[in-house]
Amino acid sequence: MMNPPEYNVTGIDYSRREHFVYRGPIIDIHAHVTLTRPADAPAGKEPASIGQAESMLQTGREFGIVHTTSMCPPEDIAPLRERFGGKLTFNGPISKKTFDEQDDAAYGLLERFLQAGVKIIKYWSAPRGRERGLFVDAPWRMECTRRAIAAGIRIFMVHVADPDVWFGKVYADSAKFGTKTDQYAGLERMLQLFPNVTWIGAHMGGDSEHPDHLEALLEKHPNLCFDTSATKWQVREVSPRRAAIRSLVCRYPDRFLFGTDLVTRHELVREHYVSRYWCQRTLWESSWEEPSPIADPDYTPQEGGAPTPILRGVGLPLDVLDQVYYANAERLLGMT
């Protein structure tokens, strides 16, 4: 028997949408819409294709997504903008490829993104990036932040930490990767150093396992928001503590932003995109209680239980959904 596809391990009918209660527009603040090439194509041979971006954004439209903020290479911005116009804004990720790469390479990349008119600058700073020196508060990132602010950037996105379960497995060597708590020191430093811009902590600030920690961060740093992206992770960790997460989002409704973390890839089928939009909306706006349709290698099934975690909908009230799905991002991106 063939394994079921990762985007639908339970054989769910994704046309079931009667549980969607929200009728307004949605902004996806965290996605990776790029041009794509076959993974096995020799570099520079195969022309980049816009087809996956078309497929993803068309699918998003079905789910109410009217605008998406994309992280993509700087050279993809012009062709994507030409094709999709005002449906996209851009977020420029600034990293180094190797530990030894010169700071000037990062500044050059920042310059290209600024020239291309990005709205957000992103610092990916997961524990596995430490070997490359990708600390969120690395001196060259501080300098990038100063330069970006001087050029008019008012929003920065960071990826700090990773799921709790990873710290017991891939990051078990805490001398190398740091503890989960360690991941937040650099972020807090940046929040304090640059208080007059907005910081978005990607993937529920990297800590949906601990709503109390998220609340402490929100309380302490008025310039911090979180996005809801990384669908598998949020389904797995928000579901078992949905009451606490609901309460948190309802008490800070202007500090959360809808995001998917969908990535265009050359071989993806449309239903992959469907699965993430469907699960995100199901998680935030319904009271759904069934095994998640998405394969999740980080989930340890109970004996005799379902192979995927139970997706338990948070059921946010409509006025809160309006803020999280749309109004907060609209305000931040200056679309009003």
Residues lying near Zn ion in the complex (CB under 5 A): 261
Least distance to Zn ion, CB of residue 72, Å = 11
Least distance to Zn ion, CB of residue 115, Å = 23
Q: Which is nearer to Zn ion, 234 or 286 (CB)?
A: 234
Least distance to Zn ion, CB of residue 30, Å = 6
| Spatial distance between the Cα atoms of 127 and 134, rounded to a whole number of angstroms | 9
Residue of minimal Cβ distance to Zn ion: 261
Q: Which residues of 190-226 are buried (b: 16+ CB within 10 A; e: fewer)?
A: bbeebeebbbbbbbbbbbbbbbebbeebbeebeebbb
What is the DSSP secondary structure assignment for residue 239, as one 8-state letter?
A: G
Backbone angles phi, psi at 284, to 5 degrees: -85, -30
Q: Which is nearer to Zn ion, 261 or 322 (CB)?
A: 261
Least distance to Zn ion, CB of residue 214, Å = 18
Q: Which is nearer to Zn ion, 206 or 293 (CB)?
A: 206
Least distance to Zn ion, CB of residue 167, Å = 19
Token pair, residue 239, equals 């579901």
Q: How many residues does the chain have?
A: 336
| Spatial distance between the Cα atoms of 35 and 124, rounded to a whole number of angstroms | 21
Q: Which is nearer to Zn ion, 10 or 32 (CB)?
A: 32
Q: Which is nearer to Zn ion, 93 or 313 (CB)?
A: 93
- The alpha helices in the chain, defined as continuous H runs, are 51-62, 74-84, 103-115, 139-150, 164-167, 174-177, 183-193, 202-205, 211-220, 231-238, 242-251, 270-285, 318-322, 328-332
Token pair, residue 27, equals 């902004």
Least distance to Zn ion, CB of residue 176, Å = 23
Q: Which is nearer to Zn ion, 157 or 320 (CB)?
A: 157
